[in-house]
């Protein structure tokens, strides 16, 4: 419920009351029981509340029945996240992706939305009642809008693909930051690049992918991308619509999976991110866990940042605090060692006209290799151990 509260605040609303219920399975009509629905209705009337937000996806019928029972607007988790994305999208492609996801969601809600009028008989020459006519009009409007947005997004995706193909000779080592929302990806990104991109202690602080150059010791410059954060039950409509943005992840040579190590549900968050990576086809890309925010863990007070290893010697995770800068140079050295063991060339800044072009040079990842050989030489603060 704490995450739902944060989502609600991020969307611009103020949570007043929370109700928790347990059922063996959701009620087909109301999702919750009729008694719990009555309890929620009384609370809403008592506090003069306008919206009821559910922490799970609701079927169109359940949402409609709940609104009739409660007498107020009802939003499910999917609708809430879509609303946040709509507020936060800044770039043109980001806005198109969010609008497309919203249209798909509304199309699924339209079914039987006018069922109370469908059976009315029309007059002479009419095949159906006004309800059928209105529903078909709404459906046609959404379908036309969906087609228009799909064509526009397809063009934008082709532009990105053409730009990548035109720069295939610039085989640059690329890194992509992924992670649960509010894990500190943008803070890690800023600490590595000094980019000064927007970072805040809130969910989905950034939606649009940002790519910058990064200097790696004994290697040179590479490119690193900060991508949109993931969350539990990320709406499928968003995953599909954000393919263009998530392509930065799919084409990366290395993923830095940023984790809020101070979160009591960090293991669940790691699993949720891995689920999305598998869905977009990025689960086989080499990945290093960046266990961020160790300054908030009491057991790490007074301890140095550290690297942990898999049993076969590969780096599994790095414990650091991006906010304080502790462990950033250790991370940079690990990235340098990783990049040197790939077949990627050093990024030559003379090849690029500006930093914005860096986002267009992410190419296919190299074949699987043994990337870590000499990490024991990276310096202080390394405590080899199994995860």
Same domain, 123 and 190: no
For 97-142, write each residue's pLDDT tens digit.
Answer: 888 888 888 887 765 444 444 444 444 444 455 545 666 777 788 8
- pLDDT, tens only, 16-53: 999 988 888 999 999 999 999 999 999 999 999 999 99
- The answer to whether position 383 is within a domain reads no
Task: Write out the residue range of the structural domain in which residue 138 sits.
Answer: 85-151
For residue 196, name the pLDDT band (cuts at 50, 70, 90): low
Residue 321 lies inside a defined structural domain of this protein: yes
Does residue 295 have a known ligand-binding role?
Answer: yes
The answer on 299 and 268 residing in a single domain is yes
Residue 226 annotated in ligand binding:
yes
The reply to whether 246 sits in an annotated binding site is no
Instruction: Pick the last residue of a domain from 75, 105, 138.
Output: 75
Q: Has residue 387 been placed in a domain?
A: no
Instruction: For residues 303 and 226, state if they share a domain.
Output: yes
Residue 138 maps to a domain: yes
SS (H, E, C) the chain: CHHHHHHHHHCCCCCCCCCCCCCCCCECCCECCHHHHHHHHHHHHHHCCCEEECCCCCCHHHHHHHHHHHCCEEECHHHHHHHHHHHHCCCHHHHHHHHHHHHHHHHHHHCCCCCCCCCCCCCCCCCCCHHHHHHHHHHHHHHHHHHHHHHHHHHHHHHHHHHHHHCCCCCECEEEEEEECCCCHHHHHHHHHCCCCCCCCCCCCCCCCEEEEEEECCCEEEEEEECCCECCCCCHHHHHHCHHHHHHHHCCCEEEEEEECCCCCHHHHHHHHHHHHHHCCCCCCCEEEEEECHHHCHHHCCCCCEEEECCCCCEEEEECECCCCECHHHHHHHHHHHHHCCCCECECHHHCCCHHHHHHCCCCCCCCCCCCCCHHHCCCCCCCCCC
181 lies in some domain = yes
Q: How many residues does the chain have?
A: 387
Would the annotation count 206 as a binding residue?
Answer: yes
For residue 384, is it within any domain?
no
Q: Domain boundary at 33, 52, 75, which?
A: 75
Quote the CA–CA distance of 134 and 209 in Å, as a whole number: 40
pLDDT 10s digits, 132-187? 566 677 778 888 888 888 888 888 777 766 655 544 445 678 899 999 988 999 89
Does the annotation flag 211 for ligand binding?
no
Domain boundary among 49, 75, 101: 75
Is 293 annotated as ligand-binding?
yes
Q: State the pLDDT confidence band at 380, using cuts at 50, 70 and 90.
A: very low
Higher per-residue confidence, 200 vs 258: 258
Return the C-alpha torsion angle 279, 288, 257, 304, nearest 10: 160
Q: Is 186 annotated as a binding residue?
A: yes
Specify whether 141 is located in the same domain as 276.
no
Query: Is residue 119 domain-shared with residue 243, that is, in the same domain?
Result: no
Q: Are 173 and 222 within 8 A, CB to CB?
A: yes
- pTM confidence score: 0.73
Provide φ and ψ at 348, rounded to 5°: -105, 115
pLDDT surpasses 50 at 386: no
204 is annotated as contributing to ligand binding: yes
| 371 domain residue, yes or no | yes
Known binding residue 229? Answer is yes
- The pLDDT value given to residue 44: 93
Burial class of residue 183 (count of CB atoms within 10 Å of its CB; 0-12, 13-18, 19+): buried
pLDDT at 365 over 60: no
242 and 326 belong to one structural domain: yes
Rounded Cα gap, residues 38 and 21, in angstroms: 13
Residues 6 or more apart whose CB falls under 8 angstroms from that of 278 comprise none
Q: List Cβ neighbours of 364 (8 Å cut-off, separation of 6 or more).
A: 251
Residues 211 and 126 reside in one and the same domain: no
Regarding whether 353 and 226 lie in a shared domain, the answer is yes
185 and 91 within one domain: no
Do the annotations mark residue 21 as ligand-binding?
no
83 assigned to a ligand binding site: no
188 is known to lie in a ligand binding site: no
379 assigned binding-site residue? no
Query: Does residue 93 share a domain with residue 184?
Result: no
Claim to verify: residue 97 and residue 187 sit in the same structural domain: no
318 near 285, Cβ under 8 Å?
no
222 and 110 within one domain: no
Was 184 annotated as part of a binding site? yes
Q: What is the CATH number of the domain that holds 306?
A: 3.40.50.300
Count how many domains the chain has: 3
Q: Does residue 338 belong to any structural domain of this protein?
A: yes
Kindly state the percentage of the chain with pLDDT values over 90. Answer: 31
Q: Which residues pair with 52 in a beta bridge?
A: 74
């Amino acid at each position: 419920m704490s995450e739902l509260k944060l989502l609600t605040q991020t969307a611009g609303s103020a949570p007043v009351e929370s109700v928790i219920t347990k059922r063996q399975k959701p009620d087909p009509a109301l999702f919750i029981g009729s008694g719990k629905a009555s309890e929620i209705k009384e609370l809403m009337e008592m506090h003069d509340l306008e919206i009821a937000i559910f922490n799970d996806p609701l079927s169109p019928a359940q949402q409609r029945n709940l609104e009739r029972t409660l007498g107020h607007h009802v939003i499910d988790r999917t609708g809430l996240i879509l609303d946040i994305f709509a507020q936060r999208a800044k770039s043109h492609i980001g806005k198109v992706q969010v609008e497309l996801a919203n249209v798909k969601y509304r199309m699924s809600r339209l079914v039987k939305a006018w069922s109370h009028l469908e059976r009315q008989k029309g007059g002479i020459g009419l095949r159906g009642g006004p309800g059928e006519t209105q529903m078909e009009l709404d459906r046609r409007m959404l379908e036309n809008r969906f087609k228009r947005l799909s064509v526009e997004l397809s063009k934008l995706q082709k532009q990105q693909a053409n730009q990548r193909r035109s720069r295939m000779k610039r085989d640059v080592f690329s890194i992509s930051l992924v992670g649960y929302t509010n894990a500190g990806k943008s803070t890690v990104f800023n600490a590595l690049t000094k980019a000064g991109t927007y970072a805040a202690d809130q969910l989905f602080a950034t939606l649009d992918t940002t790519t910058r150059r990064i200097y790696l010791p004994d290697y040179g410059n590479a490119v690193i991308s900060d991508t949109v954060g993931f969350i539990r039950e990320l709406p499928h409509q968003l995953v599909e619509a954000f393919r263009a943005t998530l392509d930065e992840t799919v084409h990366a040579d290395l993923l830095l999976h940023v984790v809020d190590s101070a979160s009591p549900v960090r293991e669940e968050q790691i699993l949720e991110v891995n689920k999305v990576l598998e869905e977009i086809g990025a689960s086989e890309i080499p990945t290093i866990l960046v266990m961020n925010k160790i300054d908030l863990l009491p057991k790490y007070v007074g301890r140095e940042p550290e690297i942990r290893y898999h049993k076969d010697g590969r780096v599994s995770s790095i414990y650091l605090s991006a906010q304080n800068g502790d462990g950033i140079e250790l991370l940079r050295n690990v990235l340098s060692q990783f990049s040197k063991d790939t077949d990627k060339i050093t990024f030559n800044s003379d090849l690029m006209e500006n930093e914005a072009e860096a986002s267009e040079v992410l190419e296919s990842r190299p074949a699987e290799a043994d990337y870590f050989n000499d990490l024991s030489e990276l310096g202080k603060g390394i405590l080899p151990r199994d995860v």
